[in-house]
Amino acid sequence: MRILTVNAGSSSLKLRVIADGDVLAASYEQLPDPLPPIDAVAHRIVHGGVAFHDPVVVDADVEQRLHALTELAPLHQPKSLAAMDAVRAALPDVPHVACFDTSFHATIPAPAATYALPKEWIDRYRIRRYGFHGLSHAWSARRAGQMAPGARRVVTCHLGAGASLCAVLDGRSIDTTMGFTPLEGLVMATRSGSVDPGLVMWLAEREPEISDALEHRSGLLGLTGSADLRVVLDRADEDSRLGVAVYLHRLRAGIAAMAAALGGVDACVFTGGVGENSATVRELSVDGLGFLGLRLDTDRNRDAQPDTDVTSGTGGRVLVVASREDLEMARQARRLLTSTSAAPSALS
């Protein structure tokens, strides 16, 4: 089965054809003309809400319900759905499968998923911590199990323009840093991450564009003037030094929180554009986490390529893993379309 994966992120568009055996057959940044033979399409959708805990074949009803979730992920959902519309128009005769970033976190237990809000609000608006980057976290956790057999307690760090952490126990998500929307948690390229809600209410009375500012003008961009961590790391000015320090403070604290949810850590995985490519971020984030048993080898870390073990010593493993959301999407789509229950309707 040849599956085209469509991954429209907050700052990129990736199209890849995955052949049987998870072998990368082709990669594109836009739909090629002519299109290669395709048997099915897998789409990355950021928010599945409470309705979608598993991949689903897209029809008009599913697409309408996905559009209704746009307000919960305004930076991502419109781009994902626009890409879906374009590819469905180009390939109308093959099944299209929606794979959700929120699905992996459906296993988070109630104490970690529940906000301390009035119960009537929680019930009325289906409020919970959904979590995101689930496709990346799922792949990274599976890859960590292959690279460090026996590692049951895994912290996965997806660091890119968006950033989140996940506590994975025996392959299941039990906690994560993003919440009801992708705005919660770590400092990101343009997103603030967690902010005191009292401050948000205070600012809302003074800044009419607060929603746009928190999504598009905060994070590293707000602190330093640049959303590119590579640029910020190369600078020596006071704002850049502070921006990096704030970014790393939240990151280290988050890793420790995920380890606490797990009762320890057997492996810590770095993935995503920053996680895979910035030896500096890996070194500075692990520095100070020795109490968790995490130490990295400076030389191996400096020259690391995905997928590499950069651990120093015999404590928890520190791993650099290539983010392969495409392979996770293809795996989910293939499993859905070849299952006994899904195959007749999905492939007809």
Residues annotated as catalytic (active site), given as ranges: 101
Query: H or E segment at 7?
Result: strand 3-8
* Exposure of 129 in the CB half-sphere (CA atoms within 13 A): 25
Cα 293 from Cα 308, distance rounded (Å): 18
What b-and-e string marks burial along 219-257, b requiring 16 or more CB atoms within 10 Å of the CB?
bbbbbbebbebeebbeeeeeebeebbebbbebbbebbbe
DSSP 47-89: --TTT-SS-EE--HHHHHHHHTTGGGSTTTHHHHHHHHHHHHH
**Using an 8 Å Cβ cutoff, are 137 and 166 in contact?**
yes
Q: Could you give the angle at the alpha carbon of 221 between the alpha carbons of 192 and 272, nearest 5°?
A: 75
Cα 100 from Cα 177, distance rounded (Å): 17
Q: What is the DSSP letter of 36?
A: P
Q: Could you give the angle at the alpha carbon of 206 between the alpha carbons of 202 and 211, nearest 5°?
A: 80
- Which residues, listed in sequence order, are joined to residue 3 by a DSSP beta bridge? 18, 40
Strands in 235-281 per DSSP E: 267-271
Strands in 20-152 per DSSP E: 23-28, 40-45, 56-57, 96-100
Q: What is the DSSP letter of 316?
A: B
The bridge status of strand 40-45 relative to strand 3-8 is parallel
